[in-house]
């Protein structure tokens, strides 16, 4: 999945909670100018309203909001939380923040991500990666 640049991958030992994980994964895109601050808060509000729908498989969450919530360009970040976190009752280590500038430009990215996370062994390897260089090998 070459859509995630090395600079868009961060590895942390732990986070405070799921909101902190969403903010930290969003900050990566914010610092690149891919999104505006309000996008992160919109993603948090979506989760508060709709629940853990963004946990797409064991260990993987994909917070996101609508294009009109402050997306400047389609991009994705990856936050690996080594210790893992409780995401509204679901255990998560990998947080892929998705930002799509429209309703269709993210479809290919999601297709590639789906293929990647269908491989449970690969997800496990990514969850236990030591650094972003190791994660890049799996992407």
**What amino acid positions are annotated as catalytic residues?**
64
Q: Which two tokens stand for residue 122?
A: 């690969």
DSSP for residue 27: H
CB 109 within 8 A of CB 139: no
Beta bridge pairs of residue 96 = 78
CB 38 within 8 A of CB 29: no
Q: Please state the separation of Cα 34 from the chain's center in Å.
A: 14
Query: What is the end-to-end Cα distance of the chain in Å, rounded?
Result: 5
């Amino acid at each position: 999945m070459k859509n995630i640049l090395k600079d868009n991958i961060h590895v942390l030992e732990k986070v405070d909670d799921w909101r902190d994980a969403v903010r930290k994964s969003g900050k990566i895109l914010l610092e690149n100018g891919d999104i505006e601050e309000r996008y992160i808060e919109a993603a948090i509000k979506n989760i508060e309203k709709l629940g853990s729908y963004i946990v797409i498989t064991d260990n993987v969450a994909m917070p996101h909001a609508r294009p009109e919530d402050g997306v400047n360009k389609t991009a994705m970040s990856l936050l690996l939380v080594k210790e893992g976190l409780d995401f509204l009752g679901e255990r998560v280590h990998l947080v892929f923040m998705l930002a799509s500038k429209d309703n269709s430009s993210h479809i290919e990215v999601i297709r590639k991500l789906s293929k990647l996370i269908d491989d449970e062994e690969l997800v496990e390897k990514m969850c236990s990666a030591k650094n972003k260089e190791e994660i890049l090998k799996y992407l």
